[in-house]
Chain A
Amino acid sequence: MYKLGIVGTVTMLLMGCTGTDSAPSSFPGAFVDGNVAYLARGGQVYKYDVQSGNLLWEFPKQETPERGPFAGQPVKFGNTIVVGEGLNFASTGGLFSQEDHTQRSLFGLSDENGVEVWRFTGPKEFVDGVVTDGKLIYAPNGDGKLYAIDPAQKENNQPKIVWTFNDAKSKLWSKPLLAGGKLYQASMDHSMYAIDVATGKKIWEFQAKAPIAVQPTLNNGVLYFGAFDSKFYAVDAETGAKKWEQTTTGWVWSEATIANGLVYFGDVRGRVYALDIAANGEVRWTFDTKDAIRAQPIINGDTLYVVSFDTNVYALKAADGKTAWPTPATLNYRLPAKPWVINDTLLVPLFDSETRMWSLDIASGTRKIQFQPVKK
């Protein structure tokens, strides 16, 4: 009978291995506007009062396997909040979870009550949200295309596509940067594209040696971004010519933040970098966390705030990388999304917990308000 036992054990072990991670398959994103915060995470989108932690509305009212995961940073477009669906968790494995929802949608939700106003269904996932100039919405999709859509005009019962950028040869997993009449769009095909915002035509293309999955940061006519080839690049925004590059220990999947002549970002092996722009990206300091950094670090005064997959929020002195809090604030869950500073509070989205966000005291890192998915 031992043979039966072995076969049973192996099967159960393998089945155990297929047990899905409870976290959504795409990263959440938050957006703060005055006293309210919007959060796209998992099966729902939430609007919260930042001061009280009260839930103002959620969309949809109840989570369903067909909807979500909502991913990336929500964007305000007129009186609507625009959010996209990332890769569907249910289609990525797990016992009997064979639903295959490859078609994912962008939603325009009423800012007032969270009711769906319009929907744009893309061929695939919208992993990192969209950008807008107030007239059009620029939506990168997992099918490798960037769609410029106009919710004011309808075509086949959904917002009209004004133009489509088709040149990328792989997934678009980061939102573009809109500046100076151009869109700068990263692609998993290893390229950064500059696109004419009026026509959707390619202006230039810069090639790295591996996928790029971050929105670039623009400073004084130079784009800063990292790639999966473990390099961080500075590229002329007009021409696409490389100005300098710096080697990192791991893939760079965090957007950069620039302040005081330094560019700050993290890599997936958990290292935070401060590179000197004037010195062609020379490393000023580094700081090691214990797990991947995917979110953009943010600066407030002289302090850099970094969130890591090691579940900690770090406050570092921007000048030298020394810790500003006695100990990091531990939130016990992976932290993949950019935090926000609101007055004396740091708002941190969580990935796989029942609690959706925590607000922390910015001076000490102590917990203040817990944001729950239910009305108080």
Chain B
Amino acid sequence: MWDLFIVNPMTNILLLLYDILGKNYVLAIIVFTLLIKLVTLPLTIKQQVGMMKMSALQPQIKEVQEKYKNDPRKMQEEMRKIGYNPVGGCLPMLIQMPVLIGLFGAINRTLTVDPKNLIDLGKHLYTFLPNLSSLVPIDSTFLGVFDLGRPDRYLVVPIVVVVTTFLSNKLMMQPTTDPQMAQTNQMMQWMTPMMFGFFMLSTPIGLGIYWIVSNLLGVAQYYLTKPMMDKARAQYGVATVGGGGKPSVAGATAPIAQLAPPPKSKIRAKTNLNKPNTDDKNKK
């Protein structure tokens, strides 16, 4: 099922792009990454808005946690009332995981050209695209030095992955008033790039290029969607992010610690956009 719905379509699209784009695999990865970014853009925006929403709810969450610390059922009920959804921010990210893992499979399948893997590729090419068979074995050389199907012995790609992941994370990280969350964010900012850099030591360069392009496109996407996000931030009363600079509220300059929690009604109003608020109905 995994192969049928995720890896096989990706494999065939990647090879189709390789064919269309003058048999240049790096170009194929770049265009493929762009397509993936476009397809997952609504999810990404939803994820960012979800994170903003959770960030805005932090003071209320703390208040409820404090108030009902001895009554977990009531705490859960109240949390639900204020619109708290523990997986709201990360669900879209979870949905994107199969894309990443599927792409890994597709790149690995098309690039690691040894007889064993090639026979596997042959089984999964679509018969209605007969031209794809003529493309193998893929020309996996890049800049005359790198083999896209093998890990980078010169460590250039792992280093660029670390740098771009760090920059991208720094830009995207939501500021928070919660010290524990701030500490986690701080840790994440360093740990994620290191983990991916470590992973790239043993991964084909082709996947590293996907990751680098994905990070750069993420940064471009950030700037393109910034006006929309700033508007949402203003709506939730969340501090702005970006460039690792001082956090500030969109349209204001107050330090984050002095920010007043967003009015409850505003949050509820936003929640209502997603689903009918049964509480309001009950009140009526």
B280 interfacial contact with A, CB 8 Å: no
B57 CB, min distance to chain A CBs, angstroms? 15
A92-B122 in contact (CB<8A): no
**Interface membership of B223, Cβ < 8 A:** no
Question: With a CB–CB cut-off of 8 A, which chain A residues contact B105?
Answer: 17
Which of B100, B134, B204 meets A93, CB within 8 Å? Answer: B204
Are B134 and A209 in contact, CB atoms less than 8 angstroms apart?
yes
| Shortest Cβ distance from residue A76 to the other chain B in the assembled complex, whole angstroms | 24
Q: Using Cβ atoms and an 8 Å threshold, which residues of chain A touch B123?
A: 250, 268-269, 291-292
CB distance from B271 to the nearest CB of A (A): 21
Cα–Cα, bound, A17→B130 (Å): 28
The answer to whether B199 and A15 have CB atoms under 8 Å apart is yes
Q: Taking the complex as formed, is A190 at the interface, i.e. its CB lies under 8 A from any CB of chain B? A: yes
Q: Is A253's beta carbon under 8 Å from chain B? A: yes
- Most interface-central of A4, A8, A21, A294 (chain B CB within 10 A): A4
Contact residues in B for A100 (Cβ distance below 8 Å): 150, 153
B92 to chain A, nearest CB (A): 12
Question: Bound state CA distance, A229 and B90, in angstroms?
Answer: 44
Residue of B nearest to A92 (CB): B112
Q: How far is the CA of A100 from the CA of B97 in the complex (A)?
A: 31
The reply on A3 being an interface residue by CB < 8 A is yes
* Residues of chain B contacted by A92 (CB below 8 angstroms): 112, 114, 117, 149-150
A336: B residues at CB distance < 8 A: 119
Bound Cα distance from A98 to B151, whole angstroms: 6
B116 touches A229 (CB 8 A): no
The yes or no answer to A328 lying at the interface (CB within 8 A) is no
For B97, B115, B150, B204, which residue has the most chain A Cβ atoms within 10 angstroms? B115
Return chain A residues, CB-CB under 8 Å to B100: 10, 14
Tell me the minimal C-beta distance from B258 to chain A in angstroms. Answer: 26
CA A141 to CA B204, docked complex, whole Å: 24
Enumerate A190-239 residues with CB–CB distance to B below 8 Å.
190, 209-211, 213, 228-230
**Residues of chain A with a CB closer than 8 A to B202's CB:** 15, 18, 93-98
B116 near A21: Cβ-Cβ < 8 Å:
yes
Does A86 reach chain B (CB closer than 8 Å)?
yes
Please report the C-alpha to C-alpha distance between residue A11 and residue B101 in the assembled complex, in whole angstroms: 10
User: Do A171 and B150 touch across chains, with their CB atoms under 8 A apart?
Assistant: no
Judge if B192 is at the interface, Cβ distance under 8 Å.
yes
Q: Which of B104, B114, B137 contacts A211 (CB 8 A)?
A: B137
Inter-chain contact B114/A251, CB cutoff 8 Å: no
**Measured between C-beta atoms, what is the minimum distance from B137 to chain A in Å?**
6
B254 at the A interface (CB under 8 A) = no
**CB contact list, A319-338 vs B, under 8 A:** 336
| Contact residues in A for B192 (Cβ distance below 8 Å) | 7
Is the C-beta of A6 less than 8 angstroms from some C-beta in chain B?
Answer: yes
Please give me the residue from chain A that is nearest to B97 by CB atom. A10
CB neighbours of B130 from chain A (8 A): 209, 229-230
Write the chain A residue with the least CB distance to B135. Answer: A210
B136 at the interface (CB under 8 A from A): yes
Q: Does B196 contact A (CB under 8 A)?
A: yes
The answer to whether A253 and B122 touch across the interface, beta carbons within 8 angstroms, is: yes
Classify chain B: how many residues form its interface, as a range: 35 or more
User: Do A25 and B116 contact each other (CB < 8 Å), given the known contacts A8-B195, A98-B202?
Assistant: yes
* Mask: chain B, 82-108; 1 = CB below 8 Å from A; 0 = not: 000010001001100100110011001
A190 to B136, alpha carbons, bound, how many Å?
10
Chain A nearest CB, measured from B229 CB (Å): 19
Bound-complex Cα distance A65 to B130 (A): 38
Could you tell me the distance in whole angstroms from the C-beta of A110 to the nearest C-beta in chain B?
A: 28
Contact pick for B134, options A13, A94, A229, CB 8 Å = A229
| C-alpha spacing A1/B187, complex, angstroms | 10
Contact present for B108 and A173 (CB under 8 Å): no
Interchain CB contact (< 8 A) of B153 among A98, A251, A268: A98
Query: In the bound complex, what is the Cα–Cα distance between A369 and B90 (angstroms)?
Result: 56
Query: Which A residues lie within 8 Å of B253 (CB)?
Result: none
**Interface check A147, CB cutoff 8 A:** no
A249 within 8 A of B: yes
Is A50's beta carbon under 8 Å from chain B?
no
| Residue A87 CB within 8 A of the other chain | yes
Q: Note all chain B residues with C-beta closer than 8 A to A249.
A: 127
Contact of A251 among B94, B133, B185, B201 (CB under 8 A): B133
For residues 165 through 192 of chain A, which have their beta carbon under 8 Å from a beta carbon of chain B?
Answer: 170-171, 173, 188, 190
Interface residues of B in 64-96 (CB under 8 A from A): 86, 90, 93-94
Q: Of A14, A97, A210, A253, which one neighbours B104 at CB under 8 angstroms?
A: A14
B188 within 8 A of partner (CB): yes
User: CB of B225 within 8 A of chain A?
Assistant: no
Contact of B115 among A25, A91, A97 (CB under 8 A): A25
Which residues 104-159 of B sit at the A interface, judged by CB distance below 8 A?
104-105, 108, 112, 114-117, 119, 122-123, 127, 130, 133-134, 136-137, 149-151, 153
Q: Does B191 contact A (CB under 8 A)?
A: yes
Report Cα–Cα, A173/B195, bound state, in Å.
Answer: 38
Is there contact, CB below 8 Å, between B150 and A26? no
Are A17 and B101 neighbours in the complex by a CB distance under 8 Å? Answer: yes
Could you tell me if B93 and A253 are in contact, using CB atoms closer than 8 angstroms? no
Cβ A268 vs Cβ B114 within 8 A? no
**Inter-subunit contact B119/A18 (CB<8 Å):** no
Q: Find out whether the CB atom of B203 lies under 8 angstroms from the CB atom of A14.
A: yes
Query: A residues within 8 A CB of B127?
Result: 230, 249-250
What 9 pairs across the A-B complex have the smallest Cβ distances? A25-B114, A251-B122, A268-B122, A95-B202, A210-B133, A87-B114, A210-B134, A11-B195, A228-B133
Other A-B pairs beyond A1-B184, A18-B203, 15, CB < 8 Å? A2-B86, A3-B184, A4-B187, A4-B188, A14-B101, A23-B116, A25-B117, A71-B115, A87-B115, A93-B112, A95-B202, A98-B153, A211-B134, A229-B130, A250-B123
